[in-house]
């Protein structure tokens, strides 16, 4: 029972830290990169998607999906994951998050009754 609680605590703490890192990183993008993302959002999103696709090719598709299959194989069949599995799964959503963060985290623009900004 203690091992289950420890794993749950560690997983929750890790997920919270990952979320915190993503949020703080979205506000500290280098100014040139942030300006590029603002002026060419579609191209920036496409380049981020390309980055994730390349990471998928490098890792032979291990970064795609939830990781359920890799975890199941490891637990049930004593499969061994490569050393970079955790790091790759941690890095893979980051470019996509940055491609969308500007849209979801931006402050709404003030509009008066006439519709002027």
pLDDT digits (tens, 9 = 90+) for 2-58: 888 888 888 888 888 887 777 766 666 667 777 777 788 888 888 888 888 998 898
* Residue 29, burial from CB neighbour count under 10 angstroms (0-12, 13-18, 19+): middle
Is residue 110, in this structure, part of any structural domain at all? no
Number of domains composing the chain: 1
115 within a domain of the structure (yes/no): no
Is 9 domain-assigned? yes
Q: What is the pLDDT of residues 72-114, one digit of tens each?
A: 877 787 677 888 888 888 788 877 777 766 665 555 555 556 6
Contact 15, 86 (CB under 8 A): no
Q: Is residue 116 part of a domain?
A: no
Identify the domain containing residue 34 by its residue range: 2-105
Flag whether 83 is in a domain: yes
Residue 112, domain member (yes or no): no
């Amino acid at each position: 029972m203690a091992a289950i609680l420890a794993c749950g605590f560690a997983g929750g703490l890790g997920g919270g830290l990952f979320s915190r890192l993503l949020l703080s990183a979205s506000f500290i993008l280098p100014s040139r990169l942030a300006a590029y993302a603002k002026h060419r959002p579609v191209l920036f999103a496409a380049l981020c998607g390309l980055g994730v696709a390349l990471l998928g090719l490098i890792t032979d598709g291990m970064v795609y999906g939830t990781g359920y299959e890799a975890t199941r194989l490891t637990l049930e069949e004593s499969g061994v994951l490569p050393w970079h599995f955790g790091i790759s799964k941690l890095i893979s959503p980051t470019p996509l998050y940055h491609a969308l963060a500007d849209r979801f985290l931006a402050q709404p623009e003030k509009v008066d009754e006439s519709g002027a900004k």
